[in-house]
């Protein structure tokens, strides 16, 4: 019997008879709703002794890199579920972001942390690790942005509002600009929590933080000598109803392959911006007299900075249901064509929406408390998540007996019981009841903590011997 055209089985048959190339078939599967619905928890990666704040795959997806409150970085063979190499980053506080540098053989790694440092770690032959301090500021550095395909240059942003440009071939670091609130009367600094580079236009990058605006810059138009274009965004994005109203800020940013920009707002939703949502695109100047509201029928302009014609601005696609209040959470695209949007939540779930209409497709139990990071494999049908717990979870198609699906824990209008519709069926959950799987996980975690305490290393000791790499594990720190 020949499967009905357009179904998953039909696609499998086309692949088996050679009519669909394997790469094209994999992309079609990842873009399908079947892919999202089939995701299940397949592995738990356990090594860290603190919250896992950052996870990222290398270029070919063979390794996963993680960083933690324990100040170590771990390289994982995620398919086997085993750590291949662990080293101390040299940071004195929680590691907040870690990235492989492209085309470095996965031996060049950059990190930033709550200690205000950005560091470069180089894994040498024999396992020796050389870490170099690139910059040290007083406040936390939250995020790094690697220029696609460039093994040398990257950006950082932190709570002091500064954006730095690094070139690993140079000794000096370039201080690009300090981000301040658009109301020049106050001059208050914007604490920056997110930075991302447009993969289609690497000269374009966006930053966001403690106010309501996403700022987009062109690195070619930033003059470090104090020129007129110094530190001036080429575009601003903000949901119309938040202009001049939001004080909670943005915690996560991500560009799609087509330059769409995803922004996760604290105490609010996730929004998808494209070119037509830009304030400059809509002829709205953001500056000293922020979006002044012109009174209809005369030339009088109010002196208060009121939103200008907000009802006439296009409204971006909105993704609702999660909760983002207590930690710095990212937001990401899923699928080969960025067909889905995903994030973590204060309720310990991983949320996945369909991008084109904002429909919530899946909610998966990813942490007992909070999920902060969700990352997709660069080519495979795999995602990884991490949060307040000490492990990393690998999700792939397959059954998952531990998985719980609900959105009720993130609904501000519901305290204990809610239900959500997934297409033609409904799943309900009583959130006040505890499930046996969670209790079993807690028991396992308690046992692991006792074992780890027996082998713990004090903060004053040299932690280079946590793991050995190619028979050695020496660690040198410079700077």
CA 170 to chain centre: 28
Q: Would the pLDDT of 241 be above 80? A: yes
Listed residue (242, 61, 63, 251) closest to 142, CA to CA: 251
pLDDT tens digits for range 103-124 = 999 999 999 999 999 999 999 9
User: In Å, what is the CA distance from 161 to each residue of 141, 143, 226, 266?
Assistant: 10, 12, 17, 18
270 forms bridges with which residues in the sheet?
Answer: 264, 319
Q: Would the pLDDT of 13 be above 60? A: no
Report the pLDDT value the prediction gives residue 304, as an integer from 0 to 100.
Answer: 41
Listed residue (144, 271, 249) closest to 196, CA to CA: 144
Mean pLDDT value across residues 257-283: 96
The encoded tokens of residue 305 equal 């900075």
Q: Contact 407/418 with Cβ under 8 angstroms?
A: yes
The whole-angstrom separation of Cα 326 and Cα 388 is 11
Listed residue (264, 198, 271) closest to 240, CA to CA: 271
Report the pLDDT value the prediction gives residue 303, as an integer from 0 to 100.
Answer: 40
The whole-angstrom separation of Cα 407 and Cα 172 is 48
User: What secondary structure does DSSP assign to 205-233, as a single string?
Assistant: EEEEESSS-EEEEEGGG--TT--TTTT--
Q: Would the pLDDT of 247 be above 90? A: no
pLDDT tens digits for range 343-390 = 999 999 999 999 999 999 999 999 999 999 999 999 888 999 999 999
Residues 6+ apart with CB under 8 A from 434: none
pLDDT tens digits for range 117-163 = 999 999 999 899 999 999 999 999 999 999 999 999 999 999 999 99
Report the pLDDT value the prediction gives residue 410, as an integer from 0 to 100.
Answer: 54
Sign for the pseudo-dihedral over CA of 62, 469, 70, 120: negative
The pTM for the full model equals 0.80
182 backbone φψ class: left, alpha, beta (φ>0; ψ -120 to 50): alpha
- CA end-to-end span of the chain: 68
Superfamily of domain 37-408: YVTN repeat-like/Quinoprotein amine dehydrogenase (2.130.10.10)
Give the β-pairing of 371-376 and 383-387: antiparallel
Q: What percent of the chain has pLDDT over 90?
A: 60
Mean pLDDT value across residues 405-429: 34
Mean pLDDT value across residues 173-177: 93
> Which residue is it, tokens 């330059």?
259
Residues 6+ apart with CB under 8 A from 215: 179, 206, 207, 208, 233, 235, 236
pLDDT tens digits for range 46-79 = 999 999 999 999 999 999 999 999 999 999 999 9
The encoded tokens of residue 368 equal 């007992």
pLDDT tens digits for range 368-380 = 999 999 999 998 8
Residue ranges per domain, the chain?
A: 37-408
Q: Would the pLDDT of 84 be above 70? A: yes
Listed residue (178, 290, 199) closest to 236, CA to CA: 290
Q: Would the pLDDT of 27 be above 60? A: no
pLDDT tens digits for range 276-314 = 999 999 988 776 445 444 434 333 444 444 445 677 899
What is the average pLDDT score of the chain?
A: 79
> What are φ and ψ of residue 186, in 5° steps?
-90, -40
Residue 171 pLDDT grade (very low, low, confident, very high; cuts 50, 70, 90): confident
Q: Would the pLDDT of 432 be above 70? A: no
> Where is pLDDT greater, at 168 or 467?
168
Q: Contact 102/150 with Cβ under 8 angstroms?
A: yes
Report the pLDDT value the prediction gives residue 91, as an integer from 0 to 100.
Answer: 98
């Amino acid at each position: 019997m020949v499967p009905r055209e357009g179904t998953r089985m039909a696609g499998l048959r086309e692949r088996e008879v050679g009519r669909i190339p394997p790469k094209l078939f994999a992309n079609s599967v990842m873009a399908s709703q079947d892919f999202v619905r089939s995701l299940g928890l397949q592995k738990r990666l356990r090594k860290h002794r603190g919250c896992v704040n950052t996870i990222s795959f290398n270029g070919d997806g063979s390794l996963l890199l993680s960083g933690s409150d324990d100040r170590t970085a771990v390289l994982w063979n995620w398919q086997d579920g085993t750590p291949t190499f662990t080293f101390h980053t040299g940071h004195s506080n929680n590691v907040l972001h870690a990235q492989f540098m492209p085309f470095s053989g996965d031996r060049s790694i950059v990190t930033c942390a709550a200690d205000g440092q950005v560091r470069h770690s180089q894994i040498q032959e024999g396992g020796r690790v050389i870490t170099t301090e690139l910059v040290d500021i007083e406040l936390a550095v939250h995020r790094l942005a690697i220029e696609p395909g460039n093994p040398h240059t990257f950006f950082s942003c932190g709570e002091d509002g500064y954006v730095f440009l690094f070139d690993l071939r140079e000794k000096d670091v370039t201080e690009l600009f300090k981000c301040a609130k658009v109301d020049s009367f106050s001059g208050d600094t914007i604490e920056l929590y997110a930075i991302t580079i447009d993969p289609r236009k690497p000269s374009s990058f966006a930053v966001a933080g403690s106010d309501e605006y996403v700022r987009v810059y062109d690195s070619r138009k930033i003059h470090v000598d104090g020129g007129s274009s110094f530190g001036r965004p080429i575009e601003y994005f903000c949901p119309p109803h938040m202009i001049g109203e939001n004080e909670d800020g943005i915690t996560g940013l991500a560009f799609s392959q087509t330059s769409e920009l995803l922004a996760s707002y604290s105490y609010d939703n996730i929004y998808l911006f494209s070119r037509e949502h830009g304030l400059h695109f809509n002829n709205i100047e953001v500056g000293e007299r922020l979006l002044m509201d012109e009174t209809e029928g005369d030339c009088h302009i109010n002196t208060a900075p009121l939103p200008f014609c907000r009802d006439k601005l296009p409204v971006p696609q909105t993704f609702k249901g999660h909760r983002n209040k207590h930690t710095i959470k990212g937001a990401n695209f899923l699928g080969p064509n960025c067909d889905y949007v995903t994030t973590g939540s204060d309720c310990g779930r991983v949320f996945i929406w369909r991008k084109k209409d904002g429909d919530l497709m899946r909610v998966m139990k990813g942490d007992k408390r909070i999920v902060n990071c969700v990352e997709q494999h660069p080519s495979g049908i795999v995602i990884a998540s991490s949060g307040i717990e000490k492990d990393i979870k690998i999700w792939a198609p397959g059954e998952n007996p531990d998985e719980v699906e609900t959105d009720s824990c993130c609904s501000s209008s519901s305290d204990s019981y809610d239900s959500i519709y997934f297409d033609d069926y409904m799943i309900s959950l009583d959130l006040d009841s505890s499930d046996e799987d969670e209790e079993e996980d807690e028991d396992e975690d308690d046992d692991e903590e006792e074992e780890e305490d027996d082998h713990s290393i004090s903060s004053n000791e040299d932690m280079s011997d946590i793991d050995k790499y190619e028979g050695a594990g020496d660690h040198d720190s410079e700077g």
